[in-house]
Structure formats: structure tokens, C-alpha cells
Amino acid sequence: MATPTLAPQRATPAEVRVPVRRTRLFALPEMRWAAAASALFLVGLAAQLAGAPAWSWWVLYLACYAAGGWEPGLAGLQALREKTLDVDLLMVVAAIGAAGIGQITDGALLIVIFATSGALEALATARTEDSVRGLLDLAPETATRVGSDGDEDTVAVADLEVGDVLLVRPGERIAADATVIGGGSEVDQATITGEPLPVDKTTGDEVFAGTLNGTGTLRIRVDRRAQDSVVARIAALVDQAAGTKARTQLFIEKVEQRYSLGMVAVTIAVFVIPLLAGDSVQRALLRAMTFMIVASPCAVVLATMPPLLAAIANAGRHGVLAKSAVVMEQLGSVDRVVFDKTGTLTRGTPELAEIHSVETAFTDAEILRLAAAVEHPSEHPLAAAVVRAARARDLELPAVDEFTAHPGKGVSALVHGQRVGVGSPASLTAAGLEVVAGPVAQLRARGYTAVVVTRDSRPIGVLGISDQLRAEAEAAVAAVARVTGSPVLLTGDNAATAERLAQQVGITDVRAELLPEGKVEAVRALQADGARIAMVGDGINDAPALATSDVGIAMGGAGSDLTLQTADAVVVRDDLTTVPAVIALSRRTRRVVIANLTIAATFIGILVLWDLFGTLPLPLGVAGHEGSTVIVGLNGLRLLREAAWKRAVRTGR
Ligand code: ADP
Ligand code: MG
């Protein structure tokens, strides 16, 4: 059987509604050919039973052969030219062989069942594809652009440029990642953030492509071109996942080749040996054809990919994108989950709570102004908090030069020719540390993250930044504990703050004050104990650890581009509870794959033995072979159902 893969293609967002667009039954050519073959078979059978002249039903049956067999036959011949033996071809050869010994009714039945199960498979694949692509049908194709003269015209979203001004009417989907420059409305961002409640948007707020405008009208200025938008990045990830194959599948395909060749050799033996022993050509050929059909590994080939693709689609619908079938397969073997703190367990939109000056020459406002100027280019969640606080106080930020980020430590830059740094107290010299020890300890005791502002390496102030836990963090940790055992917390932040937070969510294994390499070492240490690690992180400082872990999972909303690229899977809506759920779903997928392989092997074993040592009627062989193929195919598709996800969330199994 042809291995179902999701052909990489661009989404065509014909309609912008999240519910999945379903491929209709007869939209698939495979379905139409199978229907034609079935109809020809039935008419042929009627003619045969009614006693019509033999040539008439032979013609009908041969037409049935052509309708149902031309496509797999042609594909099989093409594969043969590339020196691979396609099982489909063997089926067609078997049917032709059956006709050759006068068993054309059996042969035509084989073609019909074969074409029908092929069509069902194609339909299943298309439906799986639909549900993956349903994720992408979010952004509209056109937008209303307002020209400098105030004229409105409709333009393709692909042609939008940064800086274009768009008008978003009530109930419309927003066409681009943009900033609101006029009007006000509430926007439903569930597709991107998972937040069920609409968010109020007024001038200065950010809006995202694919989110749904409420009752107001907005004027927005485009910030990102269509291909760079958040939904487009998600789409790119899905496309990437589409063209991949799981390890089990690659293994099966390798074995399949040898198996098929061996099968052809045995088929010849099954034909020749009885012939030499004096059997009739008729009987020997029939037995050989039956053998070829029942020994074909169609069900084995179908055992792996449909369940994995169904699981990828289901998880994708619920906000976790596995970037490949390999990842979906590996998630199930994870036995330890590691969480980063800031931006992962916490919301990553921290607030500046306090400013302590430690140098009388600097007022609170001056400290904040310098800190915000230096933080401005940084993508770190703490940086965003500092910049937001400065904006809220209407501080004018000076321009900076020579900005450098020190991942896991902080940032620095030149302001008016002097080096200003913002970062962790741990990066200070002993003398500097002494100056800030008081306020730092105070802030930490209250659960704040303390960040020191320095000028020319001397501390001038300490900022207390509070970060809120994600609402679902505790539930997610509990669910992870049920599925894989209790998780580990890795953070670059100080031990006191980390311990406090760990206690709140129920984590006991905390490793704090880690630089990016420290996180890598921590992951390696866990792996050295024999654990297979899934690491969940958001920042650039997590990227090396994500790459080191067996499965790296990035937070999609908060995550930096580098992190999204490094990760194997992305939590699109930043809902942490999807992490244990997708691990549970992957384990279930593995069980389904094993069940499928068992079903396939059992059917093949029984039918082959029956044919070799007894007399297996050809139609029964065909029915058993195709039946097991269909059972295996449908079994995999169960993972596409909503219930499969719910069960993974609820029971962790
Ligand atoms: P986590 O591992 O919890 O996500 P990070 O490794 O990103 O935290 O950061 C570790 C520490 O480094 C922070 O707690 C902070 O003290 C400091 N730090 C890193 N980047 C910055 C920045 N841009 N501004 C201020 N402090 C920073
Ligand atoms: Mg982080």
C-alpha cells in the first residue's frame, strides 16, 4: 500500500472558520475509480449469473481490472524503474495471474476490494490532512488597505508591506500582525493564545493575523509581512512535519523491500515445486497467486503512519505541534520532563514592582530610564517588563550603542558613552555584590526576581520584578507527575526565587542559577541516569538545552524564533497542560501501532499457513488480506477523534 504522507502544500484559506474543511468522498480520484471498478464488477457478476455469453462478462471484468488496477499498476511500474518493488504491483500481477488461469471473477473481486481499500486509505489520509490544515485556515486572503489619501481598496494579504494601514471591520478576521493606531474593539485571540476571553484593543496594542475582531472597528498598521506572522510560522512548522516519516516507518520500509523480494521468490517456489511434483498448472498457479496476495505486507505498511499522523493532527488541533512523525513517536518514550522557569512556568509577562536606588546620584526614574534604554533591544521577558514600566512613566529613552546580550546573565550597552548593564546579581563582582546585598535579599524573600542596574560596572540600583505563575502551571505539573513522574525545574534565576516558585507548583527537584551551558549539563546529567528527557523552554538561553534533550518543546507564544526553530515540538497556545497530554497521546499511539503490527502479522501468518498446508480459496484469501488492511487503517484513525485527546488529558493514558 502507498504510505500516506501529507503532501507539502500551501493552505488555501477559502473560508476563515476554524472547524475543519472536510474532503468530500468523491472529490478523490481514487474513490471514483474504485466506484467504477465496483460497478463494473457487479454488472459483470450479474451477467455471469444470468447465463450471458462468457465474452460479455469477461469484457466487463476486464474493464473492472482496468478501472481499479491501472493506477496502482502504473505507480508500481514506475517504482520498479527506480528499483523498488511496490506491493501494489504484486496485487495487480496476482489479479492478472488469476485471469490467466480462468479465475477472472476472483481476480476482479480482488481488484474491487483492493481499489476500495486503497480509496478508503486515501480518504483517511485526506481527512487527516484536512484536520492538520484546519489549523492554518486562519488568516484571511484579502485586507482593506487605507491609502494616504484615505481611499480604501481591497488587496491580497501577500502583498501587504510593513507600515501599510488597514481597516478591520466588526466581525472580520485580522489580516496581519499589526499595531492598533485608531479605533477600539475586543479581539478574540483564542486561535493564537488559547485565551477564551476576547481582549480589549486600543491604540498602541498589538494584534495578530488570524484573530477575530469583535464589535468595534480598528485601524491597524502592519508590523510584519504575511510570511513572518505568527500564524505563518505555525503553518511553516506544520508543513515541515508533513514531509517526514517515523523511524518505525523507515525501518518497515527497508524491511518491506527485502520481504517483497523474498515473497516473489517464495511465490515462484510455491508455483514450481508442486508443478514438478506432478500437480496441474491450474492448481499450482492458483495457490501461488493466493500466496502472493495473502503474504503481501499491506497491513504492516499501514500500521505506523496513519496512527502517528492522526496523533499529530489531533495534538495540533489542541495546541501542540509535533514537527515530525519522529517527534510524535519519541514523545511517548519520554520519562522525565524538565521545565524552564521564566516564560515557561511563569507567564513571561512580568511586571516591574519596585526600584531601589543604591547610589544617591541616581533617582528611581533615572535608573529606570537607563535600564529601559539598555533592555530595549533585548527579547527577554524581564527586559520587556522594564521597557513597559518606563513607557508607563513616559520616560524618554536615550539611544544606545554596542548592545550585547549575555544569555542567562543579562544585557549591556553604551549610553552616552558609558557602559550600562542590567542583569543578574550573580554577574557582579564581590564588591558590587556587597553594595546591593540588602535590597536583593529583601526582594527575593518576597519572591521577586532581583535585577541589578550597573554603570561602569558599579551598581546604581536594584529592580524587583514579579512574574506570575501561569494559571495552569500547578495542574500541568501534577499531570506530568502522573504521566512521567515528577518534573525538574531548571532556571537561570537565583535559588531562593526558584525554590519558592517550585514549592507553589509542586516541584521538588530544582536546579537554579544555571547559565545556558548549565542547563545543557543538567539535561545531560539526567540522561546519564538513563532518563529520556523532554525539555520545555521559551528563551534563547534554553535553545542549547532544547537541542540536547531527547525532545525539545518550545513555548510558541513567548518563545523566540531561535527557540522555535531548535525545538522538536511547539506548544502553540502556551497551555502547559498540553505537554503531559501529548506524551500520553504518543504512548497510546505506540500501543495502537503495536496492536496494528500484531493484527497484520497474525492475519498474514494464518493465511499463509492455510494456503501452504491447506486449500485457501482465493476470495477468502483476498477478503482476509484486505480486511486486515482496512482494520489496521481504521484502528489508526481512532486517534484522530476528540475522545482520544480528552482521554489523554484526563487519564494520562
Ligand atoms: P530562566 O532560566 O528562568 O528562564 P534566564 O536564564 O532567562 O531565566 O535568566 C536568568 C537570569 O539572568 C534572570 O533571572 C536575570 O537575573 C538575568 N537576565 C537574563 N537576561 C536578562 C535581561 N535581558 N535583563 C535583565 N536580567 C536578565
Ligand atoms: Mg525562560
- Rounded CA separation 536/524 (Å): 15
> What grid cell was written down for 386?
522594564
Find the 379 Cα to ligand 1 centroid distance in Å: 11
pLDDT > 50? residue 34? yes
- Rounded CA separation 335/343 (Å): 23
Residue 115: band (very low, low, confident or very high) from pLDDT cuts 50, 70, 90: confident
pLDDT at position 633 is 84
The residue to mutate among 340, 351, 424, having the most atoms of ligand 1 within 8 angstroms of its beta carbon, is: 424
Residue 241: band (very low, low, confident or very high) from pLDDT cuts 50, 70, 90: low
Q: Which residues contact 331 (CB under 8 A, 6 or more apart)?
A: 322, 534, 551, 569, 582, 583, 585, 586
pLDDT > 80? residue 541? yes
Nearest CA to ligand 1 atom 10: 492
Q: Which residues contact 137 (CB under 8 A, 6 or more apart)?
A: 11, 13, 14, 15, 16, 17, 18, 21
pLDDT > 70? residue 5? no
pLDDT > 80? residue 125? no
Nearest CA to ligand 1 atom 8: 492
> What grid cell was written down for 79?
517504482
Residues with CB under 5 A from ligand 2 (ion): 340, 342-343, 538-539
Compute the chain's Rg from CA coordinates: 31
Q: How far separated are the first and last CA of the chain, in Å rounded?
A: 30
What residue ranges line ligand 1, CB within 6 angstroms? 340-343, 375, 378, 380, 382-383, 408-411, 422-424, 449, 451, 491-493, 539, 541
pLDDT > 70? residue 504? yes
- Rounded CA separation 278/336 (Å): 64
- What is the SS3 string spanning 504-529? HHCCCEEECCCCHHHHHHHHHHHHHC
Q: What is the pLDDT of residues 425-435, one digit of tens each?
A: 988 888 888 88
**Percent of the chain scoring above 90 in pLDDT:** 51
- Rounded CA separation 165/327 (Å): 40
pLDDT > 60? residue 86? yes
- Rounded CA separation 562/90 (Å): 47
* Mean pLDDT for the stretch of residues 608-626: 90
Residue 498: band (very low, low, confident or very high) from pLDDT cuts 50, 70, 90: very high
Strand partners, 552: 535
Neighbours of 255 (CB within 10 A): 12
pLDDT > 60? residue 7? no
Query: Strand 185-188's sheet: what is its strand order?
Result: 199-201, 185-188, 212-213
Q: Residue 569: what are its φ and ψ, rounded to 5°?
A: -145, 155
Sign of CA dihedral 228, 229, 230, 236: negative
Find the 481 Cα to ligand 1 centroid distance in Å: 27
Residue 296: band (very low, low, confident or very high) from pLDDT cuts 50, 70, 90: confident
Q: What pTM was computed for the model?
A: 0.76
Alpha helices in 171-304 (DSSP H): 190-193, 230-242, 247-276, 281-295, 298-301
* Mean pLDDT for the stretch of residues 45-71: 96
The residue to mutate among 452, 470, 493, having the most atoms of ligand 1 within 8 angstroms of its beta carbon, is: 493
Least confident of 128-137, 438-447, 472-481, 628-637: 128-137
pLDDT at position 319 is 83
Ligand nearest the Cα of residue 514 is 1
- Rounded CA separation 64/192 (Å): 49
Ligand nearest the Cα of residue 539 is 2
Q: Which residues contact 613 (CB under 8 A, 6 or more apart)?
A: none
Q: Which comes out higher in pLDDT, residue 371 or 313?
A: 371
Find the 345 Cα to ligand 2 centroid distance in Å: 9
Nearest CA to ligand 1 atom 13: 493
Find the 538 Cα to ligand 2 centroid distance in Å: 5
Question: Contact at 8 Å (CB) between 609 and 361?
Answer: no
pLDDT at position 242 is 55
Ligand nearest the Cα of residue 410 is 1
pLDDT > 80? residue 384? yes
Q: What is the pLDDT of residues 553-593, one digit of tens each?
A: 998 865 666 777 788 999 987 899 999 999 999 999 999 99
What does pLDDT average to over the chain? 87
* Mean pLDDT for the stretch of residues 336-352: 91
Residue 622: band (very low, low, confident or very high) from pLDDT cuts 50, 70, 90: confident
* DSSP class of 468: P
Of the candidates 290, 281, 296, which has an alpha carbon nearest to the alpha carbon of residue 610? 290
Find the 397 Cα to ligand 1 centroid distance in Å: 22
Nearest CA to ligand 1 atom 25: 423
pLDDT at position 641 is 87
* Mean pLDDT for the stretch of residues 15-32: 63
Ligand nearest the Cα of residue 519 is 1
- Rounded CA separation 203/27 (Å): 46
Residue 155: band (very low, low, confident or very high) from pLDDT cuts 50, 70, 90: very high
Nearest CA to ligand 1 atom 14: 493
The residue to mutate among 345, 380, 466, having the most atoms of ligand 1 within 8 angstroms of its beta carbon, is: 380
The residue to mutate among 339, 341, 342, 555, having the most atoms of ligand 1 within 8 angstroms of its beta carbon, is: 342
pLDDT at position 158 is 87
Q: Which comes out higher in pLDDT, residue 447 or 461?
A: 461
Nearest CA to ligand 1 atom 19: 410
Find the 204 Cα to ligand 2 centroid distance in Å: 26
Ligand nearest the Cα of residue 501 is 1
Nearest CA to ligand 1 atom 16: 424
Residue 238: band (very low, low, confident or very high) from pLDDT cuts 50, 70, 90: low
- Rounded CA separation 7/133 (Å): 11
Least confident of 294-303, 339-348, 467-476: 294-303
Which domains, and CATH codes, for the chain? Answer: 142-228 (2.70.150.10)
pLDDT at position 318 is 84
Name the residues annotated as catalytic: 340
* Mean pLDDT for the stretch of residues 66-71: 94
Nearest CA to ligand 1 atom 15: 424
Q: Using the atom order of ligand 1, give the atom closest to the CA of residue 450.
A: 16
Distance of CA 510 to the CA centre of its chain: 29
Question: Contact at 8 Å (CB) between 246 and 305?
Answer: yes
- What is the SS3 string spanning 585-641? HHHHHHHHHHHHHHHHHHHHHHHHHHHHHCCCCHHHHHHHHHHHHHHHHHHHHHHHC
pLDDT > 50? residue 20? no
pLDDT > 70? residue 40? yes
pLDDT > 80? residue 190? no
Length of the chain (residues): 653
Q: Determine how β-strand 569-571 pairs with β-strand 551-555.
A: parallel
pLDDT > 70? residue 192? no
Find the 133 Cα to ligand 2 centroid distance in Å: 30
Find the 519 Cα to ligand 2 centroid distance in Å: 11
Most confident option among 187-196, 253-262, 626-635: 626-635
Question: Contact at 8 Å (CB) between 137 and 16?
Answer: yes
Question: Contact at 8 Å (CB) between 362 and 415?
Answer: no
pLDDT at position 565 is 78
